[in-house]
Structure 1
Amino acid sequence: MDTDQQNARPPMVLNPVGVVRSPFKAPMLMAKDSGLSLELRMEKVKEHHGQVKSGISELVLDKQWEALLDGVEGFSHILVLYWPHLLDPCRRNLKKVHPMGRKDLPEQGIFATCSPARPNPVLVTAVALKERKGNVLTVQGLEAVDGSPIIDIKPYSQNYMTIGALKNPDWMTQILNELDED
Protein backbone atom coordinates (compact mmCIF):
# COMPACT_ATOMS: atom_id res chain seq x y z
CA MET A 1 0.00 0.00 0.00
CA ASP A 2 1.47 3.35 -0.96
CA THR A 3 1.51 6.48 1.19
CA ASP A 4 -1.48 8.06 -0.60
CA GLN A 5 -3.63 5.01 0.18
CA GLN A 6 -2.53 5.05 3.83
CA ASN A 7 -3.38 8.73 4.13
CA ALA A 8 -6.82 8.13 2.59
CA ARG A 9 -7.91 5.94 5.51
CA PRO A 10 -10.42 7.63 7.75
CA PRO A 11 -9.16 8.26 11.27
CA MET A 12 -10.15 5.76 13.93
CA VAL A 13 -11.53 7.05 17.17
CA LEU A 14 -11.98 4.75 20.15
CA ASN A 15 -13.72 6.00 23.24
CA PRO A 16 -13.88 3.89 26.38
CA VAL A 17 -17.36 2.78 27.42
CA GLY A 18 -16.32 2.06 30.99
CA VAL A 19 -13.55 0.87 33.26
CA VAL A 20 -12.37 -2.40 34.77
CA ARG A 21 -12.31 -2.73 38.55
CA SER A 22 -9.93 -5.59 39.25
CA PRO A 23 -7.88 -7.07 42.08
CA PHE A 24 -4.85 -6.90 39.77
CA LYS A 25 -2.96 -3.64 40.21
CA ALA A 26 -0.01 -4.28 37.90
CA PRO A 27 0.44 -6.27 34.68
CA MET A 28 2.25 -9.60 34.75
CA LEU A 29 4.14 -8.66 31.56
CA MET A 30 5.87 -5.37 30.86
CA ALA A 31 7.23 -4.19 27.53
CA LYS A 32 10.87 -3.13 27.73
CA ASP A 33 13.42 -2.03 25.12
CA SER A 34 14.64 -5.61 24.90
CA GLY A 35 11.15 -7.11 24.54
CA LEU A 36 8.74 -8.48 27.10
CA SER A 37 9.71 -8.84 30.73
CA LEU A 38 7.82 -11.21 32.98
CA GLU A 39 7.26 -9.23 36.17
CA LEU A 40 6.71 -12.38 38.25
CA ARG A 41 9.20 -15.13 38.94
CA MET A 42 8.26 -18.20 36.94
CA GLU A 43 7.19 -20.09 40.04
CA LYS A 44 4.63 -17.32 40.70
CA VAL A 45 3.22 -17.34 37.14
CA LYS A 46 1.17 -20.49 37.76
CA GLU A 47 -0.19 -18.99 40.99
CA HIS A 48 -1.10 -15.80 39.14
CA HIS A 49 -2.80 -17.82 36.39
CA GLY A 50 -4.93 -19.55 39.04
CA GLN A 51 -5.82 -16.20 40.58
CA VAL A 52 -6.89 -14.89 37.18
CA LYS A 53 -9.06 -17.93 36.44
CA SER A 54 -10.89 -17.62 39.77
CA GLY A 55 -10.63 -13.83 40.16
CA ILE A 56 -13.71 -11.63 40.22
CA SER A 57 -13.70 -8.23 38.51
CA GLU A 58 -16.31 -5.62 37.76
CA LEU A 59 -16.92 -3.95 34.43
CA VAL A 60 -18.33 -0.54 35.26
CA LEU A 61 -19.90 0.97 32.17
CA ASP A 62 -20.58 4.67 31.95
CA LYS A 63 -24.25 5.29 32.82
CA GLN A 64 -24.94 6.55 29.29
CA TRP A 65 -24.26 3.03 27.95
CA GLU A 66 -26.33 1.07 30.48
CA ALA A 67 -29.16 0.34 28.00
CA LEU A 68 -26.62 -1.33 25.69
CA LEU A 69 -26.32 -4.10 28.30
CA ASP A 70 -29.99 -5.08 28.11
CA GLY A 71 -30.15 -8.82 27.44
CA VAL A 72 -26.48 -9.54 28.16
CA GLU A 73 -27.41 -11.34 31.37
CA GLY A 74 -28.86 -14.12 29.20
CA PHE A 75 -25.31 -15.18 28.27
CA SER A 76 -23.01 -17.23 30.48
CA HIS A 77 -19.87 -15.72 28.92
CA ILE A 78 -18.89 -12.47 27.26
CA LEU A 79 -15.89 -11.09 25.43
CA VAL A 80 -14.29 -8.02 26.98
CA LEU A 81 -12.19 -5.79 24.75
CA TYR A 82 -9.98 -3.47 26.75
CA TRP A 83 -6.96 -1.20 26.48
CA PRO A 84 -3.73 -1.91 28.42
CA HIS A 85 -3.50 1.63 29.77
CA LEU A 86 -0.25 1.05 31.68
CA LEU A 87 1.63 0.20 28.47
CA ASP A 88 4.09 2.94 27.59
CA PRO A 89 3.07 4.12 24.06
CA CYS A 90 6.71 4.07 22.93
CA ARG A 91 6.71 0.30 23.57
CA ARG A 92 4.13 -0.28 20.83
CA ASN A 93 6.89 -0.57 18.23
CA LEU A 94 8.15 -4.03 19.23
CA LYS A 95 8.19 -6.35 16.23
CA LYS A 96 9.18 -9.66 17.84
CA VAL A 97 9.17 -10.95 21.41
CA HIS A 98 9.87 -14.08 23.38
CA PRO A 99 6.38 -15.21 24.51
CA MET A 100 5.78 -14.21 28.13
CA GLY A 101 9.29 -12.75 28.13
CA ARG A 102 10.71 -16.26 28.32
CA LYS A 103 14.08 -16.51 26.61
CA ASP A 104 13.72 -20.32 26.51
CA LEU A 105 10.90 -19.89 23.95
CA PRO A 106 11.57 -18.87 20.35
CA GLU A 107 11.03 -15.25 19.39
CA GLN A 108 7.71 -14.65 17.61
CA GLY A 109 6.17 -11.79 15.69
CA ILE A 110 3.86 -9.68 17.87
CA PHE A 111 0.77 -10.80 15.92
CA ALA A 112 1.63 -14.43 16.77
CA THR A 113 1.43 -13.66 20.51
CA CYS A 114 -1.03 -12.27 23.03
CA SER A 115 1.47 -9.58 24.02
CA PRO A 116 -0.02 -6.23 25.05
CA ALA A 117 2.85 -4.49 23.20
CA ARG A 118 1.26 -4.25 19.76
CA PRO A 119 0.61 -1.43 17.29
CA ASN A 120 -3.02 -1.19 18.46
CA PRO A 121 -3.03 -2.64 21.97
CA VAL A 122 -6.59 -3.90 22.02
CA LEU A 123 -6.79 -6.92 24.30
CA VAL A 124 -9.67 -9.39 24.45
CA THR A 125 -10.64 -12.01 27.00
CA ALA A 126 -13.57 -14.40 27.20
CA VAL A 127 -14.94 -14.33 30.76
CA ALA A 128 -17.78 -15.87 32.74
CA LEU A 129 -20.58 -13.39 33.35
CA LYS A 130 -21.67 -13.81 36.96
CA GLU A 131 -24.11 -10.95 37.45
CA ARG A 132 -25.46 -7.70 36.09
CA LYS A 133 -26.59 -4.86 38.31
CA GLY A 134 -27.53 -1.84 36.25
CA ASN A 135 -24.38 -0.63 34.52
CA VAL A 136 -22.05 -3.04 36.38
CA LEU A 137 -21.15 -6.54 35.21
CA THR A 138 -19.45 -8.93 37.61
CA VAL A 139 -17.16 -11.30 35.71
CA GLN A 140 -14.73 -14.11 36.47
CA GLY A 141 -11.44 -14.78 34.68
CA LEU A 142 -10.39 -11.32 33.50
CA GLU A 143 -6.66 -10.56 33.61
CA ALA A 144 -7.07 -6.83 32.95
CA VAL A 145 -5.51 -4.59 35.58
CA ASP A 146 -7.55 -2.18 37.64
CA GLY A 147 -8.40 0.96 35.73
CA SER A 148 -8.17 -0.58 32.25
CA PRO A 149 -10.51 1.25 29.87
CA ILE A 150 -13.22 -0.98 28.38
CA ILE A 151 -13.54 -0.60 24.61
CA ASP A 152 -16.39 -3.03 23.95
CA ILE A 153 -18.34 -5.99 25.28
CA LYS A 154 -19.71 -8.76 23.09
CA PRO A 155 -21.69 -11.90 23.91
CA TYR A 156 -19.74 -15.13 23.58
CA SER A 157 -21.61 -17.58 21.41
CA GLN A 158 -20.25 -21.07 20.92
CA ASN A 159 -21.81 -21.34 17.46
CA TYR A 160 -19.93 -18.32 16.15
CA MET A 161 -16.71 -18.40 18.12
CA THR A 162 -15.71 -22.00 18.71
CA ILE A 163 -13.20 -23.37 16.27
CA GLY A 164 -12.89 -27.09 15.76
CA ALA A 165 -9.49 -28.75 15.38
CA LEU A 166 -7.64 -25.85 16.98
CA LYS A 167 -3.90 -25.85 16.31
CA ASN A 168 -1.27 -24.20 18.51
CA PRO A 169 2.48 -23.97 17.95
CA ASP A 170 4.66 -26.08 20.24
CA TRP A 171 5.73 -23.10 22.37
CA MET A 172 2.08 -22.17 23.13
CA THR A 173 1.23 -25.80 23.95
CA GLN A 174 4.21 -25.84 26.33
CA ILE A 175 2.98 -22.69 28.12
CA LEU A 176 -0.59 -23.99 28.38
CA ASN A 177 0.59 -27.35 29.74
CA GLU A 178 2.82 -25.67 32.32
CA LEU A 179 -0.02 -23.43 33.50
CA ASP A 180 -2.43 -26.33 33.83
CA GLU A 181 -0.05 -28.72 35.65
CA ASP A 182 -1.17 -29.73 39.13
Structure 2
Amino acid sequence: MRSALWLLPLLGGCATLKPPERLDTMRLQPRFAAGAASVRPGGIIVTPVVATGMIAERRYVYVTAADPLLLRQAATLFWDVPPSASVGRAITDALRTRFAGMDGGPVVGRLAMRLVRFEEVTGGGGAQAVVEVEATFAGAAGQDGPVSGRYCRATPIVADGSDARAAAFQAGVAALALAVADDVAAGRLTASSC
Protein backbone atom coordinates (compact mmCIF):
# COMPACT_ATOMS: atom_id res chain seq x y z
CA MET A 1 0.00 0.00 0.00
CA ARG A 2 2.72 2.43 1.01
CA SER A 3 4.69 1.81 -2.20
CA ALA A 4 1.68 2.77 -4.37
CA LEU A 5 1.21 6.17 -2.69
CA TRP A 6 4.02 7.72 -4.73
CA LEU A 7 1.87 7.16 -7.86
CA LEU A 8 -0.92 9.52 -6.71
CA PRO A 9 0.84 12.79 -7.66
CA LEU A 10 1.66 11.33 -11.08
CA LEU A 11 -1.90 10.25 -11.73
CA GLY A 12 -3.20 13.69 -10.75
CA GLY A 13 -0.74 15.26 -13.19
CA CYS A 14 -2.11 13.16 -16.06
CA ALA A 15 -5.51 14.78 -15.69
CA THR A 16 -4.02 18.24 -16.18
CA LEU A 17 -2.36 17.32 -19.49
CA LYS A 18 -5.69 17.31 -21.32
CA PRO A 19 -6.54 20.85 -22.54
CA PRO A 20 -9.84 22.25 -21.28
CA GLU A 21 -12.77 22.40 -23.68
CA ARG A 22 -13.21 25.80 -25.32
CA LEU A 23 -16.45 27.55 -24.42
CA ASP A 24 -17.81 29.74 -27.22
CA THR A 25 -20.20 32.58 -26.43
CA MET A 26 -22.06 33.92 -29.47
CA ARG A 27 -23.69 37.33 -29.96
CA LEU A 28 -26.42 38.37 -32.38
CA GLN A 29 -26.29 41.94 -33.71
CA PRO A 30 -28.45 42.31 -36.81
CA ARG A 31 -28.39 45.78 -38.36
CA PHE A 32 -31.29 47.42 -40.16
CA ALA A 33 -31.14 50.25 -42.68
CA ALA A 34 -33.55 53.12 -42.10
CA GLY A 35 -36.51 53.11 -44.46
CA ALA A 36 -37.22 56.85 -44.65
CA ALA A 37 -39.89 56.53 -47.33
CA SER A 38 -41.94 54.08 -45.29
CA VAL A 39 -41.58 55.59 -41.79
CA ARG A 40 -44.91 56.06 -40.03
CA PRO A 41 -45.68 58.42 -37.15
CA GLY A 42 -45.89 57.14 -33.61
CA GLY A 43 -44.27 54.23 -31.86
CA ILE A 44 -45.00 50.67 -30.86
CA ILE A 45 -44.59 49.36 -27.33
CA VAL A 46 -42.72 46.06 -27.57
CA THR A 47 -43.18 43.93 -24.46
CA PRO A 48 -40.32 41.62 -23.48
CA VAL A 49 -40.35 38.44 -25.55
CA VAL A 50 -41.52 35.48 -23.48
CA ALA A 51 -39.60 32.20 -23.69
CA THR A 52 -39.92 29.06 -21.63
CA GLY A 53 -37.95 25.88 -21.26
CA MET A 54 -34.49 25.42 -22.70
CA ILE A 55 -34.75 28.31 -25.16
CA ALA A 56 -35.16 30.69 -22.23
CA GLU A 57 -31.55 29.94 -21.27
CA ARG A 58 -28.22 31.03 -22.75
CA ARG A 59 -27.07 27.49 -23.63
CA TYR A 60 -27.27 26.55 -27.34
CA VAL A 61 -30.17 24.19 -28.17
CA TYR A 62 -30.25 21.69 -31.03
CA VAL A 63 -32.39 18.82 -32.30
CA THR A 64 -31.88 16.15 -34.93
CA ALA A 65 -34.24 15.61 -37.83
CA ALA A 66 -34.45 11.95 -36.82
CA ASP A 67 -35.64 12.84 -33.31
CA PRO A 68 -37.18 16.35 -33.46
CA LEU A 69 -38.96 16.06 -30.11
CA LEU A 70 -35.75 15.50 -28.15
CA LEU A 71 -34.12 18.84 -27.30
CA ARG A 72 -30.41 18.79 -26.54
CA GLN A 73 -28.10 21.44 -25.16
CA ALA A 74 -24.55 21.88 -26.43
CA ALA A 75 -21.86 21.57 -23.80
CA THR A 76 -19.63 24.37 -25.11
CA LEU A 77 -21.88 26.81 -27.02
CA PHE A 78 -23.68 29.70 -25.33
CA TRP A 79 -25.44 32.94 -26.27
CA ASP A 80 -24.29 36.18 -24.63
CA VAL A 81 -27.90 36.86 -23.56
CA PRO A 82 -30.97 34.60 -23.64
CA PRO A 83 -32.32 34.28 -27.22
CA SER A 84 -35.57 36.01 -26.27
CA ALA A 85 -33.62 39.19 -25.45
CA SER A 86 -31.80 39.09 -28.81
CA VAL A 87 -35.05 38.54 -30.72
CA GLY A 88 -36.83 41.34 -28.86
CA ARG A 89 -33.97 43.76 -29.44
CA ALA A 90 -33.86 42.89 -33.16
CA ILE A 91 -37.61 43.37 -33.61
CA THR A 92 -37.51 46.70 -31.76
CA ASP A 93 -34.59 47.84 -33.97
CA ALA A 94 -36.47 46.73 -37.11
CA LEU A 95 -39.56 48.65 -35.95
CA ARG A 96 -37.40 51.79 -35.60
CA THR A 97 -36.96 51.67 -39.39
CA ARG A 98 -40.76 51.74 -39.83
CA PHE A 99 -41.98 54.05 -37.03
CA ALA A 100 -40.65 57.52 -36.23
CA GLY A 101 -41.70 57.51 -32.56
CA MET A 102 -40.14 54.29 -31.28
CA ASP A 103 -38.01 56.27 -28.85
CA GLY A 104 -40.65 58.49 -27.30
CA GLY A 105 -43.40 59.41 -29.73
CA PRO A 106 -47.13 58.81 -29.27
CA VAL A 107 -47.95 55.13 -28.90
CA VAL A 108 -49.97 53.70 -31.79
CA GLY A 109 -49.84 50.02 -30.84
CA ARG A 110 -48.53 47.27 -28.61
CA LEU A 111 -46.66 44.14 -29.73
CA ALA A 112 -46.33 41.04 -27.54
CA MET A 113 -44.37 37.96 -28.61
CA ARG A 114 -43.53 34.45 -27.48
CA LEU A 115 -40.41 32.68 -28.69
CA VAL A 116 -41.53 29.23 -29.84
CA ARG A 117 -38.32 27.85 -31.34
CA PHE A 118 -34.69 28.93 -31.33
CA GLU A 119 -32.74 25.83 -32.22
CA GLU A 120 -30.40 24.18 -34.67
CA VAL A 121 -32.00 21.34 -36.61
CA THR A 122 -29.46 18.84 -37.93
CA GLY A 123 -29.91 15.95 -40.33
CA GLY A 124 -30.65 15.26 -43.95
CA GLY A 125 -27.18 16.33 -45.00
CA GLY A 126 -27.19 19.76 -43.38
CA ALA A 127 -28.13 21.97 -40.49
CA GLN A 128 -30.48 24.93 -40.15
CA ALA A 129 -30.94 27.71 -37.62
CA VAL A 130 -34.68 27.81 -36.85
CA VAL A 131 -36.27 30.86 -35.22
CA GLU A 132 -40.03 31.03 -34.62
CA VAL A 133 -42.21 33.52 -32.75
CA GLU A 134 -45.90 34.00 -32.11
CA ALA A 135 -46.92 37.66 -32.11
CA THR A 136 -50.00 39.61 -31.02
CA PHE A 137 -50.45 43.21 -32.11
CA ALA A 138 -53.01 45.57 -30.60
CA GLY A 139 -53.62 48.85 -32.36
CA ALA A 140 -54.03 47.79 -35.97
CA ALA A 141 -56.14 50.32 -37.87
CA GLY A 142 -59.64 49.08 -38.59
CA GLN A 143 -59.38 46.17 -36.12
CA ASP A 144 -61.68 45.86 -33.13
CA GLY A 145 -59.20 43.74 -31.21
CA PRO A 146 -55.66 42.44 -31.39
CA VAL A 147 -54.41 40.50 -34.40
CA SER A 148 -52.12 37.50 -34.12
CA GLY A 149 -49.53 35.93 -36.36
CA ARG A 150 -46.73 33.40 -36.42
CA TYR A 151 -43.31 33.93 -38.00
CA CYS A 152 -40.67 31.31 -38.69
CA ARG A 153 -37.33 31.43 -40.48
CA ALA A 154 -35.03 28.49 -41.21
CA THR A 155 -31.56 29.56 -42.35
CA PRO A 156 -28.89 27.10 -43.53
CA ILE A 157 -25.80 26.76 -41.38
CA VAL A 158 -23.13 26.64 -44.08
CA ALA A 159 -20.16 25.38 -42.04
CA ASP A 160 -19.29 23.77 -38.75
CA GLY A 161 -18.25 26.07 -35.94
CA SER A 162 -19.68 28.77 -33.75
CA ASP A 163 -19.10 31.62 -36.26
CA ALA A 164 -21.22 29.94 -38.94
CA ARG A 165 -23.91 29.08 -36.41
CA ALA A 166 -24.09 32.65 -35.09
CA ALA A 167 -24.19 34.03 -38.65
CA ALA A 168 -27.10 31.75 -39.59
CA PHE A 169 -29.10 32.66 -36.48
CA GLN A 170 -28.37 36.35 -37.02
CA ALA A 171 -29.63 36.16 -40.62
CA GLY A 172 -32.76 34.30 -39.49
CA VAL A 173 -33.49 36.73 -36.67
CA ALA A 174 -32.97 39.71 -39.01
CA ALA A 175 -35.33 38.31 -41.67
CA LEU A 176 -37.95 37.47 -39.05
CA ALA A 177 -37.66 40.91 -37.41
CA LEU A 178 -38.11 42.70 -40.76
CA ALA A 179 -41.16 40.55 -41.59
CA VAL A 180 -42.75 41.41 -38.23
CA ALA A 181 -41.91 45.13 -38.65
CA ASP A 182 -43.36 45.22 -42.18
CA ASP A 183 -46.57 43.56 -41.05
CA VAL A 184 -46.98 45.78 -37.97
CA ALA A 185 -46.45 48.84 -40.17
CA ALA A 186 -49.16 47.51 -42.50
CA GLY A 187 -51.49 46.90 -39.52
CA ARG A 188 -51.66 43.15 -39.89
CA LEU A 189 -49.86 40.00 -38.80
CA THR A 190 -49.41 36.96 -40.99
CA ALA A 191 -48.32 33.36 -40.61
CA SER A 192 -45.25 31.69 -42.05
CA SER A 193 -43.97 28.21 -41.47
CA CYS A 194 -40.51 26.70 -41.63
Do they fold alike, i.e. is TM over 0.5?
A: no
Q: Report which of the two has the higher share of strand.
A: 2
State the TM-score bracket (shorter-chain normalisation): under 0.3
Task: Report the TM-score, using the length of structure 1 for normalisation.
Answer: 0.28
